[in-house]
Structure 1
Amino acid sequence: MDVRPDDLPDGLVIANGAGRVVCFNTAAVRLTGRQHHEALGSPLQAALPLEDLDGRRWWQLTDPYGGPAIRNGHPERNLLLPGGHEVLVAARYVRQRPRGPVERVVVTLRGTEARRRTERSHAELIATVAHELRSPLTSVKGFTATLLAKWERFTDDQKRLMLETVDADANRVTRLIAELLDISRIDSGRLEVRRQRLDIAAAVRRHVEGHIAAGQPAERFAPRIADGLPDLWADPDKIDQVLANLLENAVRHGEGTVTIEVEPAASPREPGEKATAVTVSDEGPGIPEESMSRVFTRFWRGSRRGGTGLGLYIVKGIVEAHGGVITVDRAPAGGARFRFILPVGAPAVLA
């Protein structure tokens, strides 16, 4: 199948051995603002009047046709077009033989918006982590220093309270580190799924019982488990993360009864294949319509602050790593309704 230069998402500029532009694709037109007829046939330095960040003219600085014959181009770097418009530029010098004359200069151009979004996301992640770590670590340091310096002055009950606080804060730090590792694996596509036979109904009941044991009234939960569920092969620890996050959100941010439905469904990606659907809904204020599209992005916290805002991003990554899908909408009672569908999968040795 032939790929035309105009099909490429990045800008492509090719100059011949005489330094004249012979290819200037549509993406290059969009990025530079220069039309095809203006660029084609013109000298490379005129079609792409690039400068480095110090204001030096790039093609005079690098001299691809007259410089050392051992060079084969330059890696991607930030350069400036007239008006200060920043682009990412990489070049390849094509020679017919080693140390021979340059036959073509192939230049690729990309906008910097995607990279800047990534950099901002990383900066936000670092700031969030630093903020979330500061409080528990300060608490741990304060209590341990106090206990070491004044152990004999405290009663056993006071010591127990301090140590319980240290233990809770240490658990908080451990959870945050686990979240960061999950995000790293999701972003790099390396999140491992170790499939085992999973009793999803038992897992749901276990999470509900945990909330009741922690002080929530039993009547607040309404598990509805359908009959005839297909055998589900999934990673128990990962699905526990999903259930824990969705139920915690429903309990903390929702109101009224939290309904958990488990039922057979059609596979979201393989027509005709079996799957299991889990729906968690509440009767609270719900999620504003304008926020629905951002629920599964990093740092989304809704109208209430607290937490890292990473939980639902990780939930989506886990569900998709299983080949499933997750959606959010408004529940019949007005609250938020999260629904994820998992294909039945196969044992790890067969997957």
Structure 2
Amino acid sequence: MADNDWELERSDLVATLAHELRSPLTGVKGFVQAVLNRWDKLTDEQKKFMLTTALVDADRLSRLITEMLDVARLDTGRLQLHRRPTDPGPIVQRVVDNVRMSTSRTISLDVAGDLPQIDADPDKLAQVLTNLVDNGVRHGDGDVVVTVAPLDDAVRYRIEDEGDGIPEQVRENVFTKWWKGDRSMGTGLGLYVVGGLVNAHGGSITIGDRPGGGARIDVSWPVSPH
């Protein structure tokens, strides 16, 4: 890459990240300031709503920072995983509960019984699932359906949304760096990190069509050898 091209890409990256970080930070500051300024005039329900919204924005800010750090670690081969036998159910339940806090969209979850433990860094697994469920909410239409089921020597996480789906001709590009499709929002790094984390665990991720319209993303996560 020529020096001028690299400088332009770096400048675009800084501008994009600044925009993405500013939005949740503004939300946190605004709601906290409102609670402080109007504490005696707000009902307990209003206080809870404002503080919950601030927490959602703070979580988004934390995810963006983690995402940027993981991009650097993936690119330099310095990603560290703290893998251990992990119950696949509670993590996805927590992820769905957290994403539900930030949307009025219905997110349903069906976890099969008697699932084997998987070999995972729990924090990274939660990061992958949060990104995929959140994408289903933000870029799809209608409800989001999450299912977890055993699959050979793996556990399959399936995330489905209603909408236009992802055209087959661009699916090979979805997990590359900077890919946004025809959307202007986002950093274009989230799915790149998702693909990198899944591959680092020895898993796989595929994109398909949801019957009736929409996207279907399947993540196959290896079971624990212990």
TM-score interval, smaller chain? 0.7 to 0.9
State whether structure 2 residue 95 is matched by structure 1 residue 207: yes
State whether structure 2 residue 71 is matched by structure 1 residue 192: no
By how many angstroms is 1:190 displaced? 1.5
SS of equivalent residue, structure 2 residue 157: strand
**Number of the residue aligned with 2:147:** 261
Higher helix share: 2
| Equivalent AA in structure 2 for residue 185 of structure 1 | R
Which of these residues, 135, 139, 146, is aligned with residue 249 of structure 1? 135
State whether structure 2 residue 110 is matched by structure 1 residue 223: yes
Q: C-alpha separation between the residues in 2 aligned to 1:117 and 1:322?
A: 33
Q: C-alpha separation between the residues in 1 aligned to 2:39 and 2:115?
A: 54
Give TM-score, length-normalised by structure 2.
Answer: 0.76
**Number of the residue aligned with 1:77:** none
Q: Is the 8 A contact 2:92 2:129 kept in 1?
A: yes
Percent of residue pairs identical: 44
Which of these residues, 201, 212, 216, is aligned with residue 337 of structure 1? 216
Q: C-alpha separation between the residues in 1 aligned to 2:129 and 2:114?
A: 21
**Unpaired segments ≥5 residues, structure 1:** 1-111, 267-273
Q: C-alpha separation between the residues in 1 aligned to 2:90 and 2:98?
A: 12
Q: Which moved more, 1:303-312 or 1:178-187?
A: 303-312
Q: C-alpha separation between the residues in 2 aligned to 1:342 and 1:203?
A: 13
Q: C-alpha separation between the residues in 1 aligned to 2:29 and 2:88?
A: 40
Q: C-alpha separation between the residues in 1 aligned to 2:22 and 2:98?
A: 29
The 1:141/1:230 distance shift into structure 2, 3 A limit, reads: closer
**Number of the residue aligned with 2:155:** 276
1:251-330 correspondence to structure 2 within 5 Å: 251-266=137-152, 274-330=153-209
Q: C-alpha separation between the residues in 1 aligned to 2:147 and 2:28?
A: 40
By how many angstroms is 1:345 displaced? 4.0
The one-character-per-residue Cα deviations of 1:233-262 (angstroms, maximum 9, x if unpaired) are: 211111011111111111222233423232
Q: Is the 8 A contact 2:105 2:137 kept in 1?
A: no
The one-character-per-residue Cα deviations of 1:257-279 (angstroms, maximum 9, x if unpaired) are: 4232322334xxxxxxx222211
Total equivalences in the alignment: 219
**Number of the residue aligned with 1:180:** 68
Q: Is the 8 A contact 1:205 1:223 kept in 2?
A: no
SS of equivalent residue, structure 2 residue 187: coil
**Number of the residue aligned with 1:240:** 126
**Unpaired segments ≥5 residues, structure 2:** none
